[in-house]
Amino acid sequence: MTTILEEDVVIVGAGIAGLATAVALKRLGIRALVLEKADAPRATGAAITLFPNAWLALDALGVSHKLTSIYGRTKRRLVTNIRTGATRETSFVNTDGRIESGPRSVHRRTLLEALADELPIDTIHFSAKVAAIETETFEGSSIAVIHLGDGTIIKAKILIGCDGIHSTVARWLGLSAPVDSGRSAVRGLAMFPEGHGLNKEARQFVDAGLRAGFAPLNDKEIYWFLSCTSPLKENTSANPELIQKELLENYAEIMPPLYLDVVRHCDLSTLTRAPLMFRYPWDITFGNLSKGNITVAGDAMHPMTPDLAQGGCSALEDAVVLGRHIGNSLIKHKTLVSGGIVEAIDGYVKERRWRITWLVAGSYLSGWVQQGGSKWWMKFLREVVYYRLLFSRIVNTVRYDCGKLPRVTFPGELDNSSKID
């Protein structure tokens, strides 16, 4: 017998975007069901750097205090050209000595746990693989119908795809598939049981086709990465020990000893390698980011290269902005009505479209220019066009405030989800 469930909101994916969106809706008194295809909470990804825009979003979600008490702000960032030795410094310390705008690097797992802990225990359903999506009309309202791999059918007033770069929901909307940027990235977490003795500063090292760096999370752990245009050997792609060995051998002569020492101390269980994917900016500008009561958020909407460290930050923004529009509709109509839902999702897409187009384009441009070659025209683009004209504007993207969630003063008016056999 087919099991049919009815839900107000279904979110596909229990990553940063999915959990943050569920938290935003919970703050409005709306219960969301989160479907996660994995059989356990996500554990991939060692760490993530969160800039001021992400912390403003976490403030709006009411969870920032769980993390700020653990992770300190970065004091400064140093970017060194490996060939010339020239170093650019960005200080996050104000003239009065306070560090107000510096990013914080946090464990990805800790961030996910902080979000998940805000949700009712039955919110996330694991091993829930979406097999198909369709829509139907009931009493004049559009309903999203989600078919799971085990035969379960879920009918929802709102469907939000937060299911990553290979999103099933994004494909249903007709969004183009992400493309390979031509670069791959290796990431990991270095462990120093006796302490690494480094200051709270991020270091980066750039060269033609290469960008690497690290940032301390605390006194004993350092998040590190390396992205390159010359891919590692395919037979090492799934073997952390071989990836680490090849990195140390290939870059022993050009990378500073400090960076190599960080790589040597990597906890191999945290080491991952993956191609850097992104969606063409014009596909976001002109693509279908929503259709009626169905939309996407996070990497499902805007996969981007990590060069501005805005993937996770913008996913948190998405959650707050979408929650704000749905909350305002709820206040206006006193319940989730079809016309109000469509209006809210359209407003969310309109607000997000141009910002994320700029973030995707800016991230790709930043990586391409900084890892460009040594030809005169590339140097001109890097030193004059990028650093002198564009850099400050790109950096200002991290100071964006996505706003607050509205206060809904009539909890309990939404119908509870029901189960129909």
> Tens digit of pLDDT for each residue in 299-308?
999 999 998 8
What pLDDT is attached to residue 238? Answer: 77
Model confidence over 120-161: pLDDT tens digits? 999 999 999 999 999 998 877 889 999 999 999 999 999 999
Which residues have CB under 8 Å from 407's CB, separation 6+? Answer: none
Of 220-229, 345-354, 379-388, the one with minimum mean pLDDT is 379-388
Model confidence over 310-352: pLDDT tens digits? 999 999 999 999 999 999 999 999 999 989 999 999 999 999 9
CB 313 within 8 A of CB 360: no
Output the 3-class SS for 274-341.
Answer: EEEEECCHHHHHHCCCEECCEEECHHHCCCCCHHHCCHHHHHHHHHHHHHHHHHHHHHHHCCCCHHHH
Helical residues (DSSP H) of 105-239, grouped into ranges: 108-116, 168-173
Q: Of 152, 156, 136, 129, whose CA–CA distance to 2 is shortest?
A: 152
Q: Is the pLDDT reported for residue 373 higher than 90? A: no
Evaluate if pTM is beyond 0.85: yes
Q: Which residues pair with 146 in a beta bridge?
A: 133, 154
CB-neighbour burial class of residue 243 (10 A; exposed 0-12, middle 13-18, buried 19+): buried
CB 322 within 8 A of CB 289: no
Of 112-126, 162-176, 387-401, 407-421, the one with minimum mean pLDDT is 407-421
Q: Is the pLDDT reported for residue 375 higher than 50? A: yes
What pLDDT is attached to residue 118? Answer: 97
For 206, what's the count of Cα atoms within 13 Å in the CB-facing half-sphere? 20
Mean pLDDT of 11-17: 97
Query: What is the identity of the amino acid at 224?
Result: W
Q: Of 130, 160, 159, 135, whose CA–CA distance to 145 is shortest?
A: 135
Separation CA 273–CA 232 (nearest Å) = 9
Mean pLDDT of 167-186: 95
Residue 265, φ and ψ in degrees, nearest 5:
-90, 15
Task: Say what percent of the chain tops pLDDT 70.
Answer: 86
CA dist 102 → 50, 216, 313 (Å): 9, 13, 14
Model confidence over 139-150: pLDDT tens digits? 778 899 999 999
